[in-house]
Amino acid sequence: MTISETPFAAIDFESAGTAPGLTDEPIQIAVVHWSSGSPQTVLNTYLRPSRPVTWAAREVHGIDDEKLHNAPRLLDLWPEVRNALTGRWIVAHGAATEKRFLRVFPLNGFGPWIDTLTLVRAVYPDLSSHALSEAAEALGIASRLEATSGFRWHDAASDATASLALLRHIIEAAGIEAAPAKTLLSPGLREYFKLRKSSRPEA
């Protein structure tokens, strides 16, 4: 299967935040599909945690406890999550958080996983920041995303969409649409090094 034939599902969580004595918990999940054409949001909901959202987390994503009162728990969404992710290559920016939260579903078998943070670091090592919004800004993606109705950084659906936009940018810039899908799992391969060299500004 080539990259252009691969069905992708980007996933993003927003969380309740960490504090002494408190384990982090998800409070929003979104999954966005992309294979050809425009990305499609197939799952986007708040999640009810077992404890309050920290002040620091609220300052980042703007989600307070009041918005979560009637939200489902992540475990309750197993059928929706399974349907949204099964049979697709999973995309996330800094995928460790998404993998950790999905462990609530033991042996879920989702994957392969593509971490766009790993890809952008490999292809554009000289960016001042590889964080999602900063990388999107540096690569000229952010303005297009921000012009989309309802887009807001640190919203799960928006960030999942941004991860796909970053993935698409790298695929097209590297010219690897016809390459095997597994190329995305090995950002040290020749295509990436070629793009990495061409992306460096001349002295």
Counting residues of the chain whose pLDDT is more than 90, the rounded percentage is 73
Distance between CA atoms of 21 and 1, rounded to whole angstroms?
Answer: 46
Q: Which domains does the chain have, with CATH numbers?
A: 3-199 (3.30.420.10)
DSSP letter string, 187-199: TTSHHHHHHHHHH
For residues 29 and 81, the answer to whether their CB atoms sit within 8 Å is yes
pTM as predicted: 0.91
Q: Which residues of 7-31 are buried (b: 16+ CB within 10 A; e: fewer)?
A: ebbbbbbbbbbeeeeeebbbbbbbb
Distance between CA atoms of 187 and 122, rounded to whole angstroms?
Answer: 6
Q: What is the pLDDT of residues 20-65, one digit of tens each?
A: 877 899 999 999 999 988 899 999 999 999 999 998 899 989 899 8
Q: What is the pLDDT of residues 122-171, one digit of tens each?
A: 889 899 999 999 999 999 999 999 999 899 999 999 999 999 999 999 99
For residues 120 and 131, the answer to whether their CB atoms sit within 8 Å is no
- Counting every residue written for the chain, the total comes to 203
Distance between CA atoms of 111 and 113, rounded to whole angstroms?
Answer: 5
